[in-house]
Amino acid sequence: MDWLMGKCKAKPNGRKSVAEEKKVYLEPEYTKARVTDFAFKELVVVLPREIDLNEWPASNTTTFFHHVNLQYSTISEFCTGDACQTMAVCNQYHWYDERGRKVKCTALQYVDFVMSSVQKLLTDEDVFPTKYGHEFPSSFESLVKRICRYLFHVFAHIYSEHFQETLALELYVHLNTLYVHFILFACEFHLLDLKENAVMDDLTEVLCGGASGTHNHVKER
């Protein structure tokens, strides 16, 4: 479980970051609220027989995008320029434009960039072909990884900055279940850079650690 041991670094002044101090989402009362059935992974994550190796991630990535978008939309009214001046989650996520220049933006703008850019990819027939005879491009895997990376950032932001609102809306079971599904899927197909995403290791450990073979799978990596 080495990859799960990364810790969020303390701020230079020695104080815990705000995100570390208010990890309400780690309280057992809330983390036990998710799907943990053993069959979950076997039924919804593993590539079903007879389904194309690219079709399965394509279809699931599209579904994750819609669900993460929906989940974020429930708290977006609280994700204002004042409340979330940056996409801060221990480390800040920065958005880069097409020319590779860093763009200064609020969390809301960042999520907007994420959703627009993912939507553009998902509806690009050259990347996610839907018509018979159209092939997946050679860059397909790296593009799916990019999408998963972006969606992970949105998850991290919701958990670290908007979990209280998610609780108040009674949507935390949905969030937890979606997160477990997403992480198990990403692990199964090696779609996330686990080191880069260590910021959420504590939650991933609690939510996915005991779920249907994630331990074993992670150890294999």
Interface residues with Zn ion (CB under 5 A) are 79, 84, 107, 161
Q: Which of 91, 92, 119 has its CA nearest to residue 104?
A: 92
- Toward Zn ion, which CB reaches closer, 85 or 139? 85
Strand ranges inside the chain, DSSP E: 88-89, 91-92, 95-96, 102-103
- 3-state DSSP percent of the chain in helix, strand and coil, to 5: 55, 5, 40
Whole-Å CA distances, 36 to 60, 170, 174, 179: 19, 19, 13, 12
Give, as one character, the DSSP assignment of residue 24.
G
Q: How far is the CB of 196 from Zn ion (least distance, A)?
A: 20
Q: How far is the CB of 79 from Zn ion (least distance, A)?
A: 3
Q: How far is the CB of 80 from Zn ion (least distance, A)?
A: 8
Q: How far is the CB of 137 from Zn ion (least distance, A)?
A: 33
Residues 6+ apart with CB under 8 A from 82: none
Whole-Å CA distances, 93 to 149, 152, 175: 11, 11, 21
Q: Which of 59, 69, 31, 50 has its CA nearest to residue 189?
A: 59
Enter the tokens of residue 127: 């990347």
- Toward Zn ion, which CB reaches closer, 87 or 207? 87
Q: How far is the CB of 149 from Zn ion (least distance, A)?
A: 18
- Toward Zn ion, which CB reaches closer, 79 or 118? 79
Q: How far is the CB of 169 from Zn ion (least distance, A)?
A: 14
- Toward Zn ion, which CB reaches closer, 84 or 144? 84
- Toward Zn ion, which CB reaches closer, 161 or 188? 161
- Toward Zn ion, which CB reaches closer, 161 or 205? 161
Q: Is there a contact between 218 and 3 (Cβ–Cβ < 8 Å)?
A: yes
